[in-house]
Amino acid sequence: MVTQKGKGGIKHQMLQETIAEYFRKQGKFAQIEANIGKNIDVLVIDNDKTIGIEVQLSTKHCLQVTEDFKLGCDEVWIVCENEKLLRNIMNILQKNLASELFARTKFRVADDFITKEV
């Protein structure tokens, strides 16, 4: 599969590629910077479920998940490089998203997508 170049800084792009590759290894469709009416960091199709993945390195654009849902994502995953930022974003979204959208939002740290060989 041809790899699409992500947007943002090198750390953001590396996380996009790591996440996309994680899902591709599971046999799922994953596209970096997929345009669903706006660009989404990684789009994953898992059977009949559309998952929009937003890589967040700060709290700056975390409320964009509302738009992801409006444009057809069944779930939106927020991926952060550390737990502290993840908790901050989770708190912001819990206060600002409708409860049914918050329930469809998943929170992960980047390490969740790094496969560790034993």
Query: What mean pLDDT do residues 110-114 have?
Result: 91
Residue the block writes with tokens 């600002």: 96
Rounded to 5 degrees, φ, ψ at 85 are -65, -40
Architecture per CATH, domain 10-112, reads as 3-Layer(aba) Sandwich (3.40)
Question: Residue 52: enclosing H or E segment and its boundaries?
Answer: strand 49-56
How far is it between the farthest Cα atoms of the chain? Answer: 41
Domains of the chain, residue spans: 10-112
Which of 9, 101, 3 has its CA nearest to residue 55? 9
C-alpha 28/C-alpha 24 separation (Å) is 5
> Does the pLDDT value for residue 117 go beyond 90?
no
pLDDT at residue 5 in the model: 65
pLDDT tens by residue, 19-78: 999 999 999 999 999 999 999 999 999 999 999 999 999 999 899 999 999 999 999 999
What is the value of pTM for the model shown?
0.89
Q: How far apart are the first and last CA of the chain?
A: 27
